[in-house]
Amino acid sequence: MSVQVAVQTEDFDVADCYKTLAKHASCGAVATFSGLVRDDTGDLQALELEHYPQMTEKALQGIVAQAQQRWPLAAVTVIHRVGYLRVNEQIVFVGVASGHRDAAFAATSFIMDYLKTKAPFWKKEHYAEGSRWVAAKDSDTVAANRWE
């Protein structure tokens, strides 16, 4: 299986990611997910992404390896950005190539659910009047637990 994992400040191009995933002979399905900076309040200035550099890529590689054990996958790409991001910028990309759609959809969901609860990233929202750390959501833990 071809695996690409990256933690970076730079943006990524979904079309390029797709082309890399789709080029495998055993690939009959590609599922992709992109996560963007959302502003629910109307005055979010930036979202800051902190991470634990030595642990982050290792954690993501481990999550991809678990997905590989569950489904027959041809290729997986996980890209997570860090640093300061503005509203509507891309934060995360997960793409999975597999023989059939069921595995591609399921593995994409699995990787995102695990990434949200088991990879050391933290979000901080910056507003004109101050900043606040984003609290972990119980719903994300519930989503991750459904795979156990």
Partner 1 sequence: MLTIKFFAVLRERLAVDQLQLDINKPISVAKLLEQLKSRSDKWHRELSRYDLLCAVNHEFAEPTQRVGNGDEVALFPPVTGG
Site for partner 1, rule CB under 8 A: 35, 49-52, 54-55, 58-59, 80, 91-92, 112, 115-124, 133-136, 140
Alpha carbon distance 107, 31 (integer Å): 9
> What b-and-e string marks burial along 71-80, b requiring 16 or more CB atoms within 10 Å of the CB?
bebbbbbbbb
Choose between 39 and 140: whose C-beta lies nearer to partner 1: 140
Task: Give the shortest CB-28-to-partner 1 separation in angstroms.
Answer: 27
- State the pairing for strand pair 2-8/73-81: parallel
Choose between 22 and 106: whose C-beta lies nearer to partner 1: 106
Choose between 58 and 101: whose C-beta lies nearer to partner 1: 58
Task: Give the shortest CB-19-to-partner 1 separation in angstroms.
Answer: 24
Choose between 73 and 112: whose C-beta lies nearer to partner 1: 112
Task: Give the shortest CB-25-to-partner 1 separation in angstroms.
Answer: 31
Place of tokens 């009959």: 28
Choose between 65 and 136: whose C-beta lies nearer to partner 1: 136
Closest CA to 136 of 116, 114, 119: 116
Q: Around 36, how many Cα atoms within 13 Å sit in the side-chain half-sphere? A: 7
Task: Give the shortest CB-76-to-partner 1 separation in angstroms.
Answer: 16
Task: Give the shortest CB-117-to-partner 1 separation in angstroms.
Answer: 7
In the chain the first and final C-alpha atoms are separated, in Å, by 23
